[in-house]
Amino acid sequence: MSEPTATQDLIQGTPEPTAAAPAKADKPRGLWHDTWDILKRRKIFWVSFALLLVFLVMAAFPTLFTDKNPEYATLARSMEPPSSDAWFGFDLQGRDVFARTIYGARTSIIVGVLATVGTVILGGVIGVIAAYRGRWLDSLLSRIGEIFLGVPYVLGAIIILGSVAPVQSNPGKTMIMTVVILVLAVLGWPVLARIARSAVIQAKHQDYVQAARALGAGPFRIVFKHLLPNSLAPILVYATITIGSYIGAEATLSLLGIGLRTPVISWGIAIADHTRYIRTGAHAMLFPAAFLSLCVLTFVMLGEAVRDALDPKLR
């Protein structure tokens, strides 16, 4: 897996030296409360939050932004440059680029979010089991994770998607989206398993876990009531950034022709369709690419803002 590795080690940003606001000193303050206090003072958080809202509204209600039909094609207008009538111009098939770019948000966000959910579930379960059971199961699962990490991300996706949904085949909309989501999750779990594993190993020997065990709590209760809530922060941060990198990964696979295919409207497909027309009509490619990058940036920025706020070293 490529992009998101080592993300969790990074500490970024220039946090203002915050005097821990002594608002209500009588009440004990939790980690999330502290984090929120820092977050709401950060400009970068509000910028990324606003952008996130825009993209979510765009994905949920595309008709708010455009009343044009993204499927409607007039070949006579093929590759027309941007004008006041069509802000982003027309693509090769004479379809409105602005409308297609707006409608593309839904696909990207669905794929990014669901693939991340899959990764968190798969990686989280494997990581928690490995850390909790330990011994031979831990080494076995860690080795398997290494095997998956050893296969370069794009290569693994090419191999799986190339066999399941070859370039020339024409699978249905839902089918191909499901396959792409599953492939991203299957290739991405080892990093999350490592994060979950180390978080649980750190928490495992804490007094409160020992106390819970001494009181007779079963493994399920210990994991769900005690270990998971205390390991949630790093997983959450990684997941936010992963949504961004999966959106980029989806576009990359679509570009290679093995990801999403034409009946689906997506930024990656729009870019892929016009790579050969870079000299005559770059607009059909540049606008979707800009939206794609901005969307990835939004999730990465949000994740980093939350991480900075959670990191006690930077307080």
Partner 1 sequence: MGRYAIRRLLQLIPVLLGTTFLINYMVWQLPGDPFAARCGQRPCPDAYINAMRAEFGLDQPIIVQYWHFLKNLLTGDLGVNFNNVSVASQLADSWPITVRLGLMAVAIEAVIGITAGVLSGLKRGGFIDNVITISSLVLLSLPVFVTGFLLQWLLGVQLEWVKPTVSPEAPFSELIIPAFVLASLNLAFTARLTRTSIIENRRSDYVRTAIAKGMTNRRVVGVHLLRNSLIPALTFIGTEVGSLMSGAIITEGIFNINGIGGLLWRAVNDHDFTIVVPIASLLVLVYLLANLLVDLLYGVLDPRIRYE
- Which parts of this chain interact with partner 1 (CB under 8 A)? 1-3, 5-7, 9-14, 143-144, 146-156, 158-160, 162-169, 244, 248-249, 251-252, 255-258, 271, 275, 278-279, 282, 285-286, 289, 292-294, 296-297, 300-301, 304, 313
Pair 222, 212: CB distance under 8 Å: yes
Nearer to partner 1, 222 or 310 (CB): 310
Nearer to partner 1, 84 or 174 (CB): 174
- Beta carbon of residue 127, minimum distance to partner 1 (angstroms, whole number): 19
Nearer to partner 1, 11 or 60 (CB): 11
In degrees rounded to 5, what are phi and psi of residue 90? -120, 150
Pair 161, 256: CB distance under 8 Å: no
Q: CA 142 to CA 138: how far, in whole Å?
A: 6
Identity of the amino acid at 125: V
Q: CA 273 to CA 259: how far, in whole Å?
A: 13
Nearer to partner 1, 58 or 300 (CB): 300
- Beta carbon of residue 218, minimum distance to partner 1 (angstroms, whole number): 33
With residue 301 as reference, give the H or E element that holds it.
helix 283-310
| Cα atoms found within 13 Å of the Cα of residue 242, Cβ hemisphere only | 30
- Beta carbon of residue 26, minimum distance to partner 1 (angstroms, whole number): 33
- Beta carbon of residue 158, minimum distance to partner 1 (angstroms, whole number): 5
Beta partners for residue 239, in sequence order: none
- Beta carbon of residue 139, minimum distance to partner 1 (angstroms, whole number): 11
Nearer to partner 1, 164 or 217 (CB): 164
With residue 256 as reference, give the H or E element that holds it.
helix 228-256
Nearer to partner 1, 12 or 198 (CB): 12
- Beta carbon of residue 257, minimum distance to partner 1 (angstroms, whole number): 7
- Beta carbon of residue 230, minimum distance to partner 1 (angstroms, whole number): 24
Q: Give the angle subtended at the CA of 89 by the CAs of 83 and 91, to the nearest 5°.
A: 160
- Beta carbon of residue 88, minimum distance to partner 1 (angstroms, whole number): 16
Extract the tokens encoding 7: 């993300």
Nearer to partner 1, 226 or 307 (CB): 307
Identity of the amino acid at 197: R
- Beta carbon of residue 30, minimum distance to partner 1 (angstroms, whole number): 26
Give the number of other Cβ atoms within 10 Å of residue 122's Cβ: 18
- The phi-psi region of residue 307 (left if phi > 0; otherwise alpha if psi is between -120 and 50; otherwise beta) is alpha
Q: CA 177 to CA 166: how far, in whole Å?
A: 14
The radius of gyration of the chain's CA atoms, rounded to the nearest angstrom, is 22
- The phi-psi region of residue 89 (left if phi > 0; otherwise alpha if psi is between -120 and 50; otherwise beta) is left
With residue 82 as reference, give the H or E element that holds it.
none
Nearer to partner 1, 110 or 289 (CB): 289
Nearer to partner 1, 205 or 313 (CB): 313
